[in-house]
Chain A
Amino acid sequence: MNPKTTALRAGLRRGGIELRSTFTNGQDLWNYFFPTVVLLVAVFFMRGATVPGTDFSLGARTLPSALGMGLLFGGLLGLAQHLVVDREDGTLLRAKAIPNGMLGYLVGKLVLVSSVSMIGLAIQLTPGMFFLDGLRLGDPSAWLTLAWAVPLGLVATLPLGAMLGSLIENPRNMGLVVLPVMGLIAVSGIFYPISGLPGWLQGAAQVFPLYWLGLGMRSALLPADLAAVEIGGSWRHLEMVAVLGAWAVLGLVLAPVLMRRMARRESGSRVAARREQAMQRVG
């Protein structure tokens, strides 16, 4: 068999093995479920409030938006985190020492991170169905929208995660990424519509993927007439595809370059140096 095909299959299996192990690990399960519980509690208490200008539940609006945020967390931060940690502990160097190992590694990581993102989405959506009114989960067109919007969201965010993961060498610097993402959440209409914000801020938010990820999830799960309270009074699918597509192209062009550069620089002594550093942090 062609070595690349072999590596691709090995990578798929690798993703499967890591997926199984992450969902049997207490610490990981806690990391997946704790934010979900926090979100659901928040949404639960918001269910009585209404979206301004409508009598629609604010809680029911927030849940889909938060699912969009989950895609950004999973795809971008999730992958970046994996890359940074795997580089520090030598996983990546091992992949480099194996024929086509980097290909297998990357495929495995993409399988793992996108599966975790989608499973996370299901975990958050399912309980919400029971106490939130107005989500159109029975409508096939909702699932149709999810079927293209979720993959598009992942294609836009995963390469960005790969880029950041390649650039950050010290796991402690992950905070540098998390902080701006928090700021972005505030202006991207996740927990509250942004129509009240100044125009320039609205404009700035719409440059980034997060706003569009939230909008996409809302367009799938909320009734059509709620589009009226969005910017421009529509779900703006065309603009959404354009912006997320642009981020995807940017990421897919730059990520391989940065990842190759990162991989080229890996060696046993670099891993040893990081181990030394990490030991000092602990000790």
Chain B
Amino acid sequence: MTTVEWSEAVEAPRNPDDHLVLDVRNLRMRYGTVDVLNGIDLTAQRGEVIALLGPNGAGKTTTIEILEGFRLPSAGLVRVLGVDPARGDERWRAQIGVVLQSWRDHGRWRVRDLLSHIGEYYAPYATDQIQRPWPVDDLLAAVGLTAHANARVSRLSGGQRRRLDVAVGIVGRPGLLFLDEPTVGLDPAARREFHELVHRLADLDHTTILLSTHDLAEAEKLADLIIILANGRIIAQGSPDQLSRRLTTDAEIRWTCDGQRHVHATMDATGFLRDLLREHGDRVQELEVRRANLEDAYLALVHEEETGIRTGRAERVWQQQEENR
């Protein structure tokens, strides 16, 4: 019903592109009267690593769960491997890997038993190009759990357990892998190992990966494309490089003039300085030009989301770059 309501207001999504691994147009999600997702557009090519970055409550998990087929969207066009996830059959499911945040499930199983058990389900979906499942010993080696192959799952440390979660997610050699906040609760060493694993998957197997995180550094490290979500909207996207390059246009200039402090934010720092010095000359003292970096802008955004106080600064920053594109 909501679909009908919206389809009047919003232009109908274009036709899906079958060559894309992910093709999302104008995705919307509404709980009651609250819009959780406000028109997300997103596409992914084979082998791409995409990070959904945003503060808690931005809509990352909802987006991923819709793409996984675990949740129905209110409106919009969603194609995952060319199929609407709401109608995805078991063959479709076999090509998707979902890395869940485990807690205490299968605690009594031994690591090797669990992986070979789950692998069995994928055997009928092997193709000439892709051997399924991933042989357990190779998989254990790939995720660094060989030494713990016979350990009970409940005995694993947090980091080892997360690696097992990844192993379960990739045992069927998925073409597309979803990771929802994969490094929450990991210590720095485990986090680093996890990052290496993600790189290996993307590089060696050309697995398309969609991951969510609220850690900018992690997104920068892992992703080809970062999509920044806030309030259910995409406020910025681009490669880590593009994002930071775009942001360097915004600078904060501080100086004192006749003992009085001034602060000015501008996109054209050089032009502003030229005018400033021409006008006031030697009276300008303690001049300081500071370029806002990606982290500043992102932190401003997180701060707004978490305090609920919207100064609009964060969104202004992102919007400026959008215009600059």
Contact A10 B101 (CB under 8 A): no
With both chains docked as a complex, state the minimum distance between the C-beta of B249 and any C-beta of chain A, in angstroms: 37
Contact string, B118-138, partner A, CB cutoff 8 A, digits 1/0?
Answer: 101111110000000000000
Partner of A86, one of B105, B113, B168: B105
The yes or no answer to A104 lying at the interface (CB within 8 A) is yes
Contact A14 B117 (CB under 8 A): yes
Chain A residue at minimum C-beta to C-beta distance from B97: A97
The yes or no answer to B103 lying at the interface (CB within 8 A) is yes
Contact B121 A94 (CB under 8 A): no
User: Which residues in A have their C-beta under 8 angstroms from that of B106?
Assistant: 91, 94
Partner of B90, one of A10, A17, A93, A100: A100
Contact A21 B108 (CB under 8 A): yes
Instruction: Report A121-174 residues with CB < 8 Å from chain B CB.
Output: none
Contact stretch, chosen from A58-66, A70-78, A265-273: A265-273
Contact B123 A91 (CB under 8 A): no
The yes or no answer to A261 lying at the interface (CB within 8 A) is no
Contact A25 B108 (CB under 8 A): yes
User: Which residues in A have their C-beta under 8 angstroms from that of B61?
Assistant: 268-269
The yes or no answer to A120 lying at the interface (CB within 8 A) is no
Contact B105 A3 (CB under 8 A): no
User: Which residues in A have their C-beta under 8 angstroms from that of B27?
Assistant: none
Chain B residue at minimum C-beta to C-beta distance from A90: B105
Contact string, B95-111, partner A, CB cutoff 8 A, digits 1/0?
Answer: 01010111111101100
User: Which residues in B have their C-beta under 8 angstroms from that of A272?
Assistant: 101
The yes or no answer to B218 lying at the interface (CB within 8 A) is no
A94 touching B168 in the complex, CB below 8 Å, given contacts A13-B117, A21-B109, A89-B105: yes
The yes or no answer to A189 lying at the interface (CB within 8 A) is no
Complex CA distance for A100 and B172, rounded to whole angstroms: 13
Instruction: Report A194-246 residues with CB < 8 Å from chain B CB.
Output: none
Contact A271 B90 (CB under 8 A): no
The yes or no answer to A260 lying at the interface (CB within 8 A) is no
A91 touching B105 in the complex, CB below 8 Å, given contacts A6-B121, A100-B90, A268-B61: yes
Contact stretch, chosen from B8-16, B65-73, B275-283: B65-73
Contact A267 B65 (CB under 8 A): yes
User: Which residues in B have their C-beta under 8 angstroms from that of A266?
Assistant: 70
The yes or no answer to B91 lying at the interface (CB within 8 A) is yes
The yes or no answer to B211 lying at the interface (CB within 8 A) is no
Contact A99 B94 (CB under 8 A): yes
Partner of B103, one of A14, A100, A104, A271: A271
User: Which residues in A have their C-beta under 8 angstroms from that of B93?
Assistant: 97-99
Interface size on B, residues (CB 8 A): 35
Residues of A contacting B: mostly: helix
Chain B residue at minimum C-beta to C-beta distance from A25: B108
User: Which residues in B have their C-beta under 8 angstroms from that of A99?
Assistant: 90-91, 93-94, 121-122, 125, 172
Partner of B113, one of A17, A267, A275: A17
Contact B117 A3 (CB under 8 A): no
With both chains docked as a complex, state the minimum distance between the C-beta of A90 and any C-beta of chain B, in angstroms: 4
With both chains docked as a complex, state the minimum distance between the C-beta of A278 and any C-beta of chain B, in angstroms: 9
Contact A268 B105 (CB under 8 A): no
A98 touching B118 in the complex, CB below 8 Å, given contacts A1-B123, A17-B113: yes
User: Which residues in A have their C-beta under 8 angstroms from that of B121?
Assistant: 3, 6-7, 10, 98-101, 104
The yes or no answer to A2 lying at the interface (CB within 8 A) is yes
The yes or no answer to B180 lying at the interface (CB within 8 A) is yes
Contact string, A98-129, partner B, CB cutoff 8 A, digits 1/0?
Answer: 11110010000000000000000000000000
Contact B100 A94 (CB under 8 A): yes
Partner of A94, one of B62, B96, B105, B120: B105
The yes or no answer to A96 lying at the interface (CB within 8 A) is yes
With both chains docked as a complex, state the minimum distance between the C-beta of A40 and any C-beta of chain B, in angstroms: 28
With both chains docked as a complex, state the minimum distance between the C-beta of A227 and any C-beta of chain B, in angstroms: 44
With both chains docked as a complex, state the minimum distance between the C-beta of B112 and any C-beta of chain A, in angstroms: 11
Complex CA distance for A93 and B100, rounded to whole angstroms: 8
Complex CA distance for A230 and B143, rounded to whole angstroms: 64
Contact B65 A97 (CB under 8 A): no
Instruction: Report A1-56 residues with CB < 8 Å from chain B CB.
Output: 1-3, 6-7, 9-10, 13-14, 17-18, 21, 25
With both chains docked as a complex, state the minimum distance between the C-beta of A281 and any C-beta of chain B, in angstroms: 14
Contact A267 B90 (CB under 8 A): no
User: Which residues in A have their C-beta under 8 angstroms from that of B101?
Assistant: 90, 268, 271-272
Contact A268 B117 (CB under 8 A): no
Chain B residue at minimum C-beta to C-beta distance from A108: B117
With both chains docked as a complex, state the minimum distance between the C-beta of A273 and any C-beta of chain B, in angstroms: 11
User: Which residues in A have their C-beta under 8 angstroms from that of B124?
Assistant: 1-3, 6
A-B contact pairs, 16 of them (CB 8 A): A2-B124, A3-B124, A3-B125, A6-B120, A21-B109, A86-B105, A90-B102, A93-B100, A94-B100, A94-B106, A97-B96, A99-B93, A101-B121, A268-B65, A271-B101, A275-B103
Interfacial residues, chain B to chain A (CB-CB below 8 A): 61-62, 64-65, 68, 70-71, 90-91, 93-94, 96, 98, 100-106, 108-109, 113, 117-118, 120-125, 168-169, 172, 180
Beyond the given A266-B70, A267-B68, please list 19 additional residue pairs across the A-B interface where CB-CB is below 8 A.
A1-B123, A3-B90, A3-B124, A17-B113, A21-B108, A21-B109, A90-B102, A90-B103, A94-B100, A98-B93, A98-B122, A100-B90, A101-B118, A267-B70, A268-B98, A268-B180, A269-B61, A269-B62, A271-B101
